[in-house]
Amino acid sequence: MVWVRTVKAVPRDQVSDEPDEWNYFDDRELAHSKGSAVCMTCEHFRYHATKSCVTLLTCPIHQRLIQQGEHLTKRCNRWQKKRVLEIGWAPEVA
């Protein structure tokens, strides 16, 4: 059985701020990466939990969802090193 995923282009002004309503990345939008520069190590990578407690992997820059597993092997051209590693994390400031 072959699963086919269709992605409908939506104008930016019509994209919701709620990750539950975002589309998944298309296969052509993410490139394979063999190093540590993958979605999970990106400054913009986030998790989101739905009302049903399902964890979604998200990219708020692109306003897209990332398929499970692809966050470990792929990245986009806007990947950025996490600033927390450079400046350190200070929980008392938050």
Map out the domains of the chain as residue ranges: 25-84
Distance CA 15, CA 20 (A): 11
Q: pLDDT tens, 24-75?
A: 998 889 999 988 899 999 999 999 998 899 999 999 999 999 999 999 999 9
**Are the CB atoms for 66 and 24 separated by under 8 Å?**
yes
Q: How confident is the model at residue 4 (pLDDT cuts 50, 70, 90)?
A: very low
User: Which has the closest alpha carbon to 70: 34, 39, 36?
Assistant: 39
Q: At residue 6, does pLDDT exceed 50?
A: no
Q: pLDDT tens, 47-56?
A: 999 889 999 9
Distance CA 10, CA 26 (A): 13
Q: What is the reported pTM?
A: 0.70
Q: How confident is the model at residue 12 (pLDDT cuts 50, 70, 90)?
A: low
